[in-house]
Amino acid sequence: MNAENRCIGLSGVSKSVAGATADAPRLQIVEDISLEVKFGEAVVISGESGSGKTTLLGLMAGLDSADSGRIELLGERIDRMDEEQRAAVRRGQVGFVFQSFHLVRGADALQNVLLPMELAALPDAAERARDSLQRVGLSGRLETPVERLSGGEQQRVAIARAYALRPRILFADEPTGNLDRRTGEQIIDLMFALRDDTGAALVLVTHEQRLAERGDRQLWLEQGRFDG
């Protein structure tokens, strides 16, 4: 894969946390992971609970720092950066969809979508936010406080929030975990449609095999290492 087409690059990345007992002072969560993701590619990371999926996603997105190894995000070496610098890399270029939605309570759907664009000082923010909410089928709920929306609708707002940025990468952590099967499928459809529209890379963490099969590439994580 040439460097220009590379969206994320991991090389020999490891992460451990403090262990619970004196016998095992450190607990290895992710061990010697190497991975490359290119723009437009949908990579699905699966694994059992505790396999390190979420930690790996956090390392790739710069939400967490590694103990060792090299991490490149959008052409920048983020493993050498501090929290502030990593946030600057993400700003306006990276979208997130979380299992628990993580919307700002009290604010309405439009305000939630506007939030990251305002932080990134993007132009035409209001117009893009409205388009984005229309794209996810919520044009009629723009000014509804998010806590009055159903779980599926809240996740749509979260997708619209990510979509409005026209991100170069979309990270999704168990995006259907709190939704019923039918709503979950709609959400996945939306995310893939967003990927198709923007040409962004999609990194999806899920433990549902059915969703994993929709990725361009499936990776199975077991005890912090890729299996096979």
Partner 1 sequence: MNAELRRLLVPRLSGAWLLALALVITVSIVTASQLFTDRIGRMLDRQAAELLAADLLVVSSEPLPDSWTALARAHGLKTAATVSLRSAIFVDDAPQLVELKAVSRDYPLRGRLEIRDRPLDPARPVAQGPTVGELWVDDKLAALLGDRIELGEARLPVTRLIAFEPDRGGSLFNLAPRVMMALEDLDATGLIVPSSRARYRLLVAGEAAALRAFRSVIEPLLREGQQIQGLDNARPELRRTLERTRTFFALATLLTLVIAMIAIALTAAQAAAREQTMVAVMRSFGISGRRLLRHQLVQLFKLWLWAVPPGLLLGWLAQFPLQGLLGAWFGLRLPEATVLPYAQAALVAAIALLGFSLPPLLRLLDTPPSQVLRALPQPPSLRARLLRGISLLALFAIIWLMLGQALQAAVLLLVILLIAGLMPLVLRAPLRLLLRYGGGRFWLRAYLYSRLLAPGRHALTVVTGFSITLMALLLLTQVKDALLEDWALQLPKDRPNYFLVNIPPERSAELESWLADRGISASPAYPLVRARLTAIDGVPVSELRLQGNEAHRLVNHVFNLSWSETLPPDNAVTAGTWSPDQGFSVEQGMAEELGIGLGDRLQFSVGGEVFEAPVRSIRSVLWENFRPNFYVLAPRGLLQTLPRTALLSARVTHEQQAQLQPLLQRFPGVLLLDVSELMDRILGIIDRASLSLQFFLAFALLAGLLVLLSVLFGSRADRAREMALLRALGASGRHLRAAQLGELLLMGLMAGLFAALLAQLIGAVVSVRLFDLSPSFSPALWLTGALAGVVMVSLPGWLFLRHGLRIRPMRLLRG
Regarding 163 and contact with partner 1 (CB under 8 A), the answer is: no
Q: Which two tokens stand for residue 111?
A: 């305000």
Regarding 143 and contact with partner 1 (CB under 8 A), the answer is: no
Nearest to 202 by CA among 4, 30, 61, 33: 61
Regarding 137 and contact with partner 1 (CB under 8 A), the answer is: no
Rounded to 5 degrees, φ, ψ at 128 are -65, -35
Question: Nearer to partner 1 by C-beta: 44 or 228?
Answer: 44
15 within 8 A of 59, measured Cβ to Cβ: yes
What 3-state DSSP class applies to 143?
coil
Longest CA span, the chain: 57
CA distance 214 to 33: 23
Question: Nearer to partner 1 by C-beta: 99 or 186?
Answer: 99
CA distance 40 to 17: 33
| Number of Cβ atoms within 10 Å of the Cβ of 177 | 15
Question: Nearer to partner 1 by C-beta: 125 or 187?
Answer: 125
Question: Nearer to partner 1 by C-beta: 123 or 228?
Answer: 123
Contacting range for partner 1; rule: CB under 8 A; set: 6-14, 36-44, 52-60, 133-141? 52-60
Smallest separation, CB 223 to partner 1 (Å):
19
Q: Which two tokens stand for residue 109?
A: 């759907």
| Number of Cβ atoms within 10 Å of the Cβ of 124 | 10
Smallest separation, CB 73 to partner 1 (Å):
12
Beta partners for 27? 17
Size of the site for partner 1 (CB under 8 A): 38
Q: Which of residues 78-117 bind partner 1 (CB under 8 A)?
A: 83-84, 87-88, 90-94, 96, 98-100, 102, 104-107, 111-112, 114-116
Regarding 153 and contact with partner 1 (CB under 8 A), the answer is: no
Q: What does the binding site for partner 1 look like in residue numbers (CB under 8 A)? A: 54-55, 57-58, 61, 63-64, 83-84, 87-88, 90-94, 96, 98-100, 102, 104-107, 111-112, 114-116, 118-120, 125, 145, 147, 161, 173
